[in-house]
Structure 1
Amino acid sequence: MSIVPTIRPATEADANAIWAMLEPILRAGETYALPRDWSRAQALDYWFSGGHEVFVAVDAGNVIGCYYLHANQRGGGAHVANSGYVTSAAASGRGIATAMCEHSLQRAAERGFLAMQFNFVISTNERAVKLWSRLGFDIVGTIPKAFEHPRLGYVDALVMHRML
Structure 2
Amino acid sequence: MLIREATADDWPRIWPFWHRIVAAGETYAWDPGTSEEEARVLWMNPAKRVYVVEDDSGAVVASAYLTPNYGGPAAGIANAGFMVDPGQGGRGHGRALAEHLLAEARNAGFRGMVFNAVVETNPAVTLWTSLGFTILGTVPEALHIMYRAI
Q: Same fold (TM over 0.5)?
A: yes
Structure 2 counterpart SS, 1:22: helix
Q: Using the TM superposition, give the Cα deviation of residue 143 of structure 1 relative to its aligned residue in structure 2, in angstroms.
A: 1.7
Q: Which residue of the partner structure matches residue 72 of structure 1?
A: 69
Structure 2 counterpart SS, 1:42: helix
Paired residue type of 2:149: M
Q: Is it true that 1:161 corresponds to 2:147 in the alignment?
A: yes
Structure 2: give runs of 5+ residues left out of the alignment: none
Paired residue type of 1:39: S
Q: Which residue of the partner structure matches residue 148 of structure 1?
A: none
Q: Which residue of the partner structure matches residue 52 of structure 2?
A: 56
Q: Using the TM superposition, give the Cα deviation of residue 50 of structure 1 relative to its aligned residue in structure 2, in angstroms.
A: 3.6
Paired residue type of 2:9: A
Distance 2:40 2:101 in 1: 19
Q: Using the TM superposition, give the Cα deviation of residue 156 of structure 1 relative to its aligned residue in structure 2, in angstroms.
A: 2.9
Distance 2:33 2:118 in 1: 20
Q: Which residue of the partner structure matches residue 90 of structure 1?
A: 87
Moved over 3 A (4+): none
Tell me which of 9, 15, 20 is aligned to 1:19.
Answer: 15
Structure 2 counterpart SS, 1:31: coil
Q: Using the TM superposition, give the Cα deviation of residue 47 of structure 1 relative to its aligned residue in structure 2, in angstroms.
A: 0.2
Distance 1:13 1:159 in 2: 32
Tell me which of 116, 119, 122 is aligned to 2:119.
Answer: 122
Q: Which residue of the partner structure matches residue 39 of structure 1?
A: 35
Specify which structure has the higher proportion of strand. 1
Q: Using the TM superposition, give the Cα deviation of residue 90 of structure 1 relative to its aligned residue in structure 2, in angstroms.
A: 2.2
Query: How many residues were matched structurally?
Result: 149
Structure 1: give runs of 5+ residues left out of the alignment: 145-154
Q: Is it true that 1:140 corresponds to 2:126 in the alignment?
A: no
Paired residue type of 1:161: Y
Q: Using the TM superposition, give the Cα deviation of residue 94 of structure 1 relative to its aligned residue in structure 2, in angstroms.
A: 1.1
CA offsets per residue over residues 66-119 of structure 1, 9 Å max, x none? 000000111000000010011112211111110111000000001100001111
Distance 2:22 2:134 in 1: 26
